[in-house]
Amino acid sequence: MQFIDLQEQQSVVKEQLMANIAGVLAHGKYINGPEVAKLEQTLAGYVGTKFALGCASGTDALLMSLMAHGITKGDAIFTTPFTFIATAEVISLLGATPVFVDIHPDTFNMDTEKLIQSIEKVIKNGEYKPKGIIPVDIFGQPADYDEINDIAGRYNLFVLEDAAQSFGARYKGRRAGSLTHAAATSFFPAKPLGCYGDGGMVFTDDEEFYDRLVSIRIHGKGRDKYDNVRIGLNGRLDTMQAAVLLAKFTVFENELKKRQIAAEYYSDALNSICRCPYVKEHNVSAWAQYSIMHEKRDKIAESLKAKNIPTAIYYPKPLHLQQAFSYLGYRKGDFKVSEQVSERIISLPMHPYLKSEVQNEISDAVRQALS
């Protein structure tokens, strides 16, 4: 059994995939080939933003966005400790300071009340200048953007949506990626829309911001790549990966529906024995993960492993307790909700091609582990 079955998906898109790859091999434009622009146009249209910029990874999409905002030493960026390290790592890379805000126990997304408290505290302390917020759409569910955008407006901060897990999700009818000033997504193979390597994208309506990103993506280019007007990096999306994504995107909408059905099927089977994912009424999750909570999480993992059912723990250690961030001076107990969720969360196999018989087998195994 696969945790995420990419082989099954490949067989569904095989013909288009092979045609697209053959197309790239034929024209040979491996860097900045026409597939990149076509993908950017297609996905900007899908998400509902004016601009989309292909990047080498989701991490680069976040990093380049912060660079385009001019983030540097002395700046404070607010995010949650219950996320993949990339979200906060890019803040530190630029010399700025990640300020963690605990998550809401229902959705595991940023707690907006605590966000306000945290911003006030940083202002009062005066050591760092609050500049921006990176909410994470954890497991595929958008954060509370109306509240977050409102708070950002009050304190004059930018918002950068970490949509690495939520491509395809909806918030009040609008797609993840279009919910705030800019968004970064990832095409890592295991994400809802994944390529066959690394890839990412930034979405925005802000033309000046987009122009800066175009420059940053190619070593801070000005008129051309040998005219360098700022410090940038090599942050391009490969043409080959764009070709793969164009093929996979043809079945993406259908896959989202299948994920939704699989998630509901799990919840019906497991609701009475563990805490199943809570998705707000105005949200549609992209179901990057289907994660349940139970005090006997380790027992579930062990028991399923013995039956060759793969599980995963996202995330076993919140970021404020990671050695890499020890210099920030946080301690155990600082973000209690994140800590508690890290101790109880476990993710079950989730992908569009999950059959109900397999889900029955998984649910039965969870039930047996807890009996």
Ligand X SMILES: *Cc1c(COP(=O)(O)O)cnc(C)c1O
Q: Look at residue 26 and give its three-state secondary structure.
A: helix
Q: Which of 188, 203, 290, 330 binds ligand X (CB under 6 A)?
A: 188
Strand partners, 20: none
Binding mask 61-100 for ligand X (x = CB under 6 A): ----------------------xx-xx-------------
Kindly state the smallest distance separating residue 223's Cβ from ligand X, in Å.
30
Kindly state the smallest distance separating residue 183's Cβ from ligand X, in Å.
11
Q: Which of 109, 112, 186, 204 binds ligand X (CB under 6 A)?
A: 186
Report whether the peptide linkage leading into residue 315 is cis, meaning its omega lies within 30 degrees of zero: yes
Picking from 257, 250, 264, 284, the residue whose alpha carbon sits closest to that of residue 352 is 257
Contacting ligand X within 249-288 (CB under 6 A): none
Residue 231, both tokens: 């410090």
Q: Which of 58, 168, 192, 194 binds ligand X (CB under 6 A)?
A: 58
By CB under 6 A, residue 55 contacts ligand X = no
Q: Look at residue 84 and give its three-state secondary structure.
A: coil
Q: Look at residue 166 and give its three-state secondary structure.
A: coil
Binding mask 148-167 for ligand X (x = CB under 6 A): --------------x-xx--
For residues 69 and 266, give the distance between their C-alpha atoms in angstroms, rounded to a whole number: 41
Q: Using CA of residue 348, residue 354, residue 358, residue 360, what is the dihedral sign?
A: positive
Kindly state the smallest distance separating residue 116's Cβ from ligand X, in Å.
23
Residue number closest to ligand X, CB atom: 58
Residue 287, both tokens: 């179901």
For residues 355 and 69, give the distance between their C-alpha atoms in angstroms, rounded to a whole number: 45
Do 89 and 117 meet the contact criterion of CB atoms below 8 Å apart? no
With contacts defined by CB under 6 A, how many residues of the chain interact with ligand X?
15
Q: Which of 200, 277, 318, 352 binds ligand X (CB under 6 A)?
A: 200
Which residue lies nearer to ligand X by CB, 90 or 269?
Answer: 90
- How many CB atoms lie under 10 A from the CB of residue 331? 9
Which residue lies nearer to ligand X by CB, 96 or 270?
Answer: 96
User: Can you give the binding site for ligand X, defined by CB under 6 A?
Assistant: 57-59, 83-84, 86-87, 136, 162, 164-165, 186, 188, 198, 200
